[in-house]
Amino acid sequence: MKPSQKKIALITGASRGIGRAIALRFAKDGIDVIVNYSSNKNAADEVVQEITDNGGVAFAVQADLGSLAGVEKLFQTVDTKLQETNNSIKFDILVNNAGIAPTATTEETSEELFDQIFDLNVKSLFFITQQAIPRLNDGGRIINLGTGLSRVANISYPVYSASKGAVDVLTRIWAAELGSRGITVNNIAPGAIDTDINAHWLRSDEGRKMITEQAALGRIGYAEDVADVAAFLISDDSRWITGQRIEASGGWML
């Protein structure tokens, strides 16, 4: 990563899916990108390579965010990299994208699975944001990734939906807390998005038919649809928007 006075974004879970699309879109808009990944180094390196091949600036940081030790490792590495290249540990944008969405009904959910979901989707997100706040420049942006399932009840995802409901609440609290610094905090709630995590059902004929029939815009969503919303939320055009849950679902289950 070369020295830069441009804006810098830290995106968790950015090696694939929605996180990857956001990283590529931000880089296209001239933002330096920190690509966090958990285990797939090759995928993260490919994102970084694509960004640099197109004249952008990016580096990858491995950290398993399912524990507080992983959060600590994330910021130790990010601080070192930024200090080396920018003479400061400050950055401008945090995108809390990392998360898991296992299918399990109430009856099927074990304590271990419950803790795994909440540890990554809520606890990790909370402490990443806690660590990021003093590092964010005034006028910065925080984007949390929620879900359409915090609005629509689906009995196959009770714990996942509840974890993202917590993210909805934290978004409003942090928006109130950070408004005096000009930092906006918003939550993008995607609908059914064609990513690897949804491939087992959404890429089937039955799954695609179900979602297209339920969506007002008559199609499934793509990671780029969400990335474009994120690009708007970090732009100056969104300066008067904070504390909002913005559903990017194509009008799913209206």
Compute the distance between CA of residue 116 and CA of residue 75 in angstroms, rounded to an integer: 21
Sign, CA dihedral 129-86-11-186, equals positive
Q: Which residues contact 44 (CB under 8 A, 6 or more apart)?
A: 14, 15, 35, 36, 37, 60, 62
160 is catalytic: yes
Contact between 91 and 11 (Cβ < 8 Å): no
Q: Considering 37, 157, 160, 222, which one is annotated as catalytic?
A: 160
* Tokens encoding 48: 């970084």
Cα 122 versus chain centre, distance: 12
Q: Which of 10, 19, 5 is nearest to 193 (CA)?
A: 19
Q: Which of 219, 216, 225 is nearest to 202 (CA)?
A: 219
Compute the distance between CA of residue 69 and CA of residue 123 in angstroms, rounded to an integer: 12
Compute the distance between CA of residue 163 and CA of residue 157 in angstroms, rounded to an integer: 10
Distances (CA, A) of 198 to 159, 194, 230, 250: 17, 6, 20, 17
Q: Which of 140, 145, 202, 137 is nearest to 170 (CA)?
A: 145
What are the residue numbers of the active site?
160
